[in-house]
Structure 1
Amino acid sequence: MDEQWLERWREGRIGWHEPEGNTSLQKHWVVSGKRVLVPLCGKTRDLIWLEHQGHEVVGVELSELAVQAFFAENEIAYSIVAGPQTAYVADNRSITIYCGDYFDFSAGPFDAYYDRGALVAIPPNLRGRYVGHTRSLLREDADKLIICLEYDASIATGPPFPVPAEEVLSYWPDLQRVDAYDDIENGPPKFREAGLEEMIEVVWRNP
């Protein structure tokens, strides 16, 4: 998976990237003033939006190209701090992105967790490991906002992968489904080409 992810960034095949950030985050995020973890963050502008809400924002991203693009495209100066994973620290801002394998990341604990593109990108056989590692980085009472997809996997195959409700709740029993809408028009072209007519984006949040 790691090499496929890096190859997508090298080739610019990043259809999941939302240039203006995620509207569900902006609608449903109710946390204030906390340290927020954003796994597999890419170059998302959600990091900036979260910072503007008063958070210390920490992203983790495997692709160095993605990390550098985030700072360049948003004209944010940064410093590089060497360590087990290279940290790109925004100058005079509360944004840091660690570049490396998420499973090796250990700079917790975090008060909140935002996942828009990580859980759906992780192959099903690695999801349990991903969630377990994420849980180890969070405080017990951490706030969570997770955005997943539901679609007929017999018609189209990921990534992004569908994550059914029962699986989400098996990982995070405290979550509630707060929104859902059909987002097939913004889904990968390969989904529509395969004949998929519906792709539901589901927003989960703890009370």
Structure 2
Amino acid sequence: MSTANSTTTTAENREKLKSHMSQYSGSAYVRGWDELWNKGDFLPWDRGSPSPALADTLVNHAHVIGGPFVDGRRKRALVPGCGRGVDVLLLASFGYHVVGLEYAEKALVACEQYAKENEGRFPVYDEKIGKGTMKFLQGDFYSDEWVKKTGWEDWDGTFDLIYDYTIAMLNVAIQFFCAMHPSMRKDWAKRTTELLRPSPQANLICLEFPVAKPAKSGGPPFGAPSKAYLEHLSHPGEDIAYDAEGNVKMNPLAESSPNALERVGHWHPADTHSVGKDKDGNVEDYVSVWRHR
């Protein structure tokens, strides 16, 4: 596909997605994604391959996030809004026990089918560590019902790793953070903070995208600059001020909340999906890593 055709396809898919999701607001927003999966003929975020940025983080930034074991047990990871589950398979191949969470029933079916047909594409990264297990669960990220379905014994309901991620197809990317209306971000931050284990060895990994998209252009995907993550994760559950155009208003004098997360890593990944690069092929996306203070 030529650059011109690719750009046209990107714009068309974004407008179509934006038009569809504009019909849903508030608590009904997740139903908009559910309907897309149920129809199955327009899934512009589904690339069918794992995030290069996550792979880069697991391989080249293990000194920041640590390995898949802690206190003699395998770490438990969560991929909320996991799509077809490609990153679930990737994390399991690196040794994590992983839950892939999806709201839509059809997405869950797609996860199981993809795992069945493609598990061989994800060999064990380190034979000494071995492969972790995978569970695909249907549920609302903001509800506790799905947490009870993991079947894990002696578990407190928190995760050692959470990946807020991007999957892409046809040069359109949807990320759990950027896929939701900005008014929902305070709840996302609060829930994510609750699900992340309060341990210095537990990490939230965010693939920040699209960092350069003007806020006033709307979404999804909505512009997600680094400062948006910084403000919301420093004040989870709190109202964050946005200006008239939709840009986050930083408040350097505001103290972080007692339950805030602290950013401990921030970098451009070595590679990312093409939609996260500029016209010259330079990576625009960021990876950020967060922990409880």
TM-score by length of 2: 0.56
- 2:164 corresponds, among 102, 115, 126, to 115
Deviations 1:8-63 (A, max 9, x none): 21233222223121000000123423100111111131101100111110121101
Higher helix proportion, which one?
2
- 1:45 equivalenced with 2:94 (yes/no): no
1:194 equivalent in structure 2: none
SS in 2 for 1:15: coil
- 1:158 corresponds, among 213, 219, 234, to 219
Identify if the C-alpha distance between structure 1 residues 55 and 183 changes in structure 2 by more than 3 Å, giving closer, same or farther. closer
In 2, are the aligned partners of 1:42 and 1:63 still within 8 Å (CA)? no
Identify if the C-alpha distance between structure 1 residues 7 and 35 changes in structure 2 by more than 3 Å, giving closer, same or farther. same
Aligned residues: 183
**Please, which runs of 5 or more residues in structure 1 have no aligned partner?**
77-91, 188-197
In 1, are the aligned partners of 2:164 and 2:205 still within 8 Å (CA)? yes
- 1:178 equivalenced with 2:261 (yes/no): no
Measure, in 1, the Cα distance between the counterparts of 2:113 and 2:98: 18
SS in 1 for 2:268: strand
1:169 equivalent in structure 2: 230
Identify if the C-alpha distance between structure 1 residues 183 and 54 changes in structure 2 by more than 3 Å, giving closer, same or farther. closer
The 4+ residue runs of structure 1 with deviation greater than 4 A are: 180-185
In 2, are the aligned partners of 1:36 and 1:58 still within 8 Å (CA)? yes
SS in 2 for 1:102: coil
In 2, are the aligned partners of 1:17 and 1:44 still within 8 Å (CA)? no
- 1:32 equivalenced with 2:107 (yes/no): no
Measure how far apart 1:199 and its partner are. 9.2
Measure, in 1, the Cα distance between the counterparts of 2:140 and 2:230: 26
SS in 1 for 2:176: coil
In 2, are the aligned partners of 1:181 and 1:202 still within 8 Å (CA)? no
2:101 equivalent in structure 1: 60
Counting aligned pairs with the same residue, the percent is 25
- 1:6 corresponds, among 11, 30, 34, to 34
**Please, which runs of 5 or more residues in structure 2 have no aligned partner?**
1-28, 70-74, 118-130, 148-156, 166-174, 234-260, 277-281
Q: Counterpart amino acid of 1:65?
A: K
SS in 1 for 2:106: helix
- Which stretch of structure 1 is more off in the superposition, 155-164 or 58-67? 155-164
Measure, in 2, the Cα distance between the counterparts of 1:32 and 1:125: 34
Measure how far apart 1:70 and its partner are. 1.2
2:141 equivalent in structure 1: 102
Identify if the C-alpha distance between structure 1 residues 7 and 167 changes in structure 2 by more than 3 Å, giving closer, same or farther. same
In 2, are the aligned partners of 1:32 and 1:53 still within 8 Å (CA)? yes
- 1:73 equivalenced with 2:109 (yes/no): no
- 1:136 equivalenced with 2:194 (yes/no): yes
- 1:145 equivalenced with 2:205 (yes/no): yes
Higher strand proportion, which one?
1
Identify if the C-alpha distance between structure 1 residues 181 and 121 changes in structure 2 by more than 3 Å, giving closer, same or farther. farther
Deviations 1:96-146 (A, max 9, x none): 122021111362211111110211112100011011011111111221211
Query: How well do the aligned residues superpose, as a CA RMSD in angstroms?
Result: 2.8
